[in-house]
Each structure stands twice: as structure tokens, then as C-alpha cells.
Structure 1
Amino acid sequence: MFEDRPDRDAEVVFVGRSNVGKSTLMRELTGHSFSTGKKPGVTRQPNHFDWNAEDFVFTDLPGFGFMSGVDESTRERIKTDVVRYVESNAEHILAGVLVVDGKSVIDVIDRHSGPDEIPHDVELFHFLRELDVPAVVAVNKMDKVDDRDERLNALCERLGLYPPWQQWEPETIAPISAKRGNVDALKESLRHHFHAANRDDLLKFVK
């Protein structure tokens, strides 16, 4: 179990595979850099960025899934810790942001789909929803995607959402390019969920 969570009553968590751009996204949203390892899987503890006055925290959870040079037992432990963290704090989480790589996510999901296997991204999306945590899929690196609508529709299908993808914005699907500074769709999603939770005092963080 991760320790040292700030005692805050409202939280947004960021989850996703390694190398999908979560730290870059956090920097865009907060204006602060977050330490990352030189290779995937080095970060094993959450990065918190909190505002005491508003009783609110952004939490970037460690990346999961395949990581070069990281053994399977360690990968599974990280995933278990992420799941337990979300489960333990679900009542405080206003949104769970699943960050995926728009260019590779379909291939990754299809590669790990089988009779005895559920892809991590799909599993985590449904896990958030089962906990009644509003799930937002931040589809990152969309600047590298040519077939935007086709790709987003395919992602919706694999998540069990009916296309077209546009009917799921802003509350569930948010196409972004964090490295380009284009995170407006995610901010709109978070504004939607903050308002739904009667936390309009937090809207200033996602203008």
C-alpha cells in the first residue's frame, strides 16, 4: 500500500501504462515538473500535488504493464498497489484519469486480448467505473495520429462504449497532446466532473 497520501477530501488520480505521458500531463496541468526515472518503472510511489486551502490533490500513480528490465513480480506488485490505492480512496476521487497512448493503445489492447486475458487498460477503466469513480480516458499523443476519428471509435468499442466517440465527450473521452500543451479536452472533462460533484471551487485549477 502506498503511504504518505496528503489528507485531502477531494482527489483526481492519474493512472496508465508506463511511457504514456502522465508526468508531462501533470506538468501541463500544474505548471510543476515531477521527478521521473530514466527508464520506465523506476517510479514506484505516487507523486502528489496538493492545495491545502481547497482540500484537493492531484495524484500521479506509478505506471503499470510491461517495463523493460523490470521483472514480472515487481510489475504485478505495482499494479496491485495502484488498484489498492484507488480502492482505498475511491470515496474521495472526483475523477480517475486513465492516460493512454493514442498511437499505440489499440495495438496494445488487441495484443493482450484473449479468452483468459483482459488488457490492463480495459480492466482499469471498468474497475474505476465499478467503484463509482468517474472514469476519464485521456487519449494522449493525438498529434501523432492521422486517423483520429477512426482510432477513437475503435478505442470506444474496446472499452465497451458505443461509437461515435464524440457522444462520450467531455465526460469520458478526452483527446489530448500533453507534450504540445494541448490538454483542453481533459480540462473540460475535469470541469464537468468537478461541477457534478458540487466542487465549483476547483474549476480554477482547470481553466
Structure 2
Amino acid sequence: MKKDQSFEKAKFEIILSGRSNVGKSSIIRELTGKKVKVGKRPGVTLKPAHTLRSDLLVTDLPGFGFMSGVKDRKQDIVKDQIVRYIENNSDRIKIAVLVTDAVSFVDVVERWESRNEIPIDIEMFDFFNELGFDTIIAINKMDRIKDSEHEERLDAIVEKLGLTPPWNQWNYIVAPTSAKKGDIKSLKGLIRKRLHDAKRDDLFKYI
């Protein structure tokens, strides 16, 4: 898979990656104002979906893991496509956002751990860090967690990702969000901070 030539002018790419149905497309819709296909079924997005504004490219990568109606072999192909896309475009990818589901993340990780396997979410987080990407963890669907349980849930999620709780000591890379409710303020703030640090305040109008 060669670098997509139709995005030659893109110099600053933000990728969003995560398990199927964690809300990546909803986050991008809130982030950019562009409507992208948002499906009820997991795994609706099978190819990268792009939003180009000036030289800023925002990319919704296909969801990994379980995909409704998609065979295991196809799921492996999709995972390979994601990795290849990231490797082929690593020179322009400046920010990687790992989107997780606040409701199911810990249970999913523990299920994998019980089989002595590393969950793909954690593999992807490590992969981003190995490539030197500025990585943000968006913990989505927080509106489905009781307010009284927010801190405990966020602590459990960052711990599974290899970060020492409490989560708020990582608030420069962790963004609790509720995309369906239109609340991605913390994620926008972290992205804008990185744009500012890169002397790209001119891109604020697109985020």
C-alpha cells in the first residue's frame, strides 16, 4: 500500500484508531464538523476515511477487533491494512488518538489477559509510542458511566494501558469524552495544545 497520492498536500495528519464501535466516527464529526458515516453495527468503517482541511488531514482508521458479519480472516487483513497505512504515512502523522470505550475496555482487556494474550488496543498504543507519535488516549462514552464511578473507571483504564493511576496525572495525554453528547472539549484542548506547540495555530479553525 503506497502513500495515498491524493493527499500529497497533507503535512500534518491526525489519526484516530480504536476497536470497532468505540465512537471514532462520532468524535471526528464533533472534531471537524464533517459528517462521516456512523453505523450502528460494529465495523462499518472498513477503509480509512479522510477529512482534509488545508494541509491538515484527519483520518478515521477502520475499527479493529470484532466486526459484525466480517470473518476472522478479513479482520486480520483489516488489522494489517491499518498497520501498513500507519507505517507508510508515519512521516506526516503528528498525532495519534487511541479511542477506547469507557464501558467495555477493562472487561475486554481482562478477557484477553485471561487467555495470556495482549489485546490489540494495547498493542496499538505501544505501536504508536514506538513510532514516536504524540499519542492521546480518548476515553469515550463517559456519559454511560455513573458520575460517582468516573474516577475509578478512568484509573482502571489507564492502569490497563500501563500508566500508573490516578489518571489525572496523565491529563496531558488522557481525554475523557462523550462524543454522542457533543462533549469532546478535553480532546480538542489536547489537540490544540499540540498544534500550538508545533506553531500551527493556523489550523485551530479546523478543529
Q: TM-score, normalised by structure 1?
A: 0.91
Matched, 1:145 2:150: no
5 Å-filtered alignment, 1:163-178, equals 163-170=165-172, 172-178=173-179
Percent of residue pairs bearing the same amino acid type: 47
Counterpart of 1:183? 184
Q: CA deviation at 1:132?
A: 0.3
Distance, in Å, in 2 between the alignment partners of 1:67 and 1:56 is: 29
Q: Secondary structure at the match of 1:174?
A: strand
Of the three residues 45, 48, 53, the one matched with 1:46 is: 48
Counterpart of 2:56? 56
Q: Secondary structure at the match of 2:109?
A: helix
Distance, in Å, in 1 between the alignment partners of 2:92 and 2:3 is: 16
CA contact (8 A) 2:3 2:88 kept: no
Q: CA deviation at 1:204?
A: 2.7
Q: Secondary structure at the match of 1:91?
A: coil
How many residues are paired up? 203
Q: CA deviation at 1:119?
A: 0.5
Distance, in Å, in 2 between the alignment partners of 1:180 and 1:37 is: 16
Deviations 1:76-130 (A, max 9, x none): 1111111111122122112101111111111111111257411111111111010
Distance, in Å, in 1 between the alignment partners of 2:129 and 2:197 is: 16
Q: CA deviation at 1:30?
A: 1.4
Q: Secondary structure at the match of 1:187?
A: helix
CA contact (8 A) 2:2 2:88 kept: no
Counterpart of 2:204? 203
Deviations 1:157-187 (A, max 9, x none): 11111111111113x1000000000000100
**Structure 1 residues not aligned, in runs of 5+:** none
Counterpart of 1:11? 13
Structure 1 residues 154, 38: closer, same or farther in 2, change over 3 A? closer
Q: CA deviation at 1:198?
A: 2.6
Distance, in Å, in 2 between the alignment partners of 1:58 and 1:39 is: 22
CA contact (8 A) 1:2 1:45 kept: no
The letter of the residue matching 1:43 is: T
Counterpart of 1:71? 71
Greater Cα offset, 106-115 or 156-165: 106-115
CA contact (8 A) 2:21 2:43 kept: no
Counterpart of 1:126? 126
CA contact (8 A) 1:138 1:176 kept: yes
Q: CA deviation at 1:36?
A: 4.3
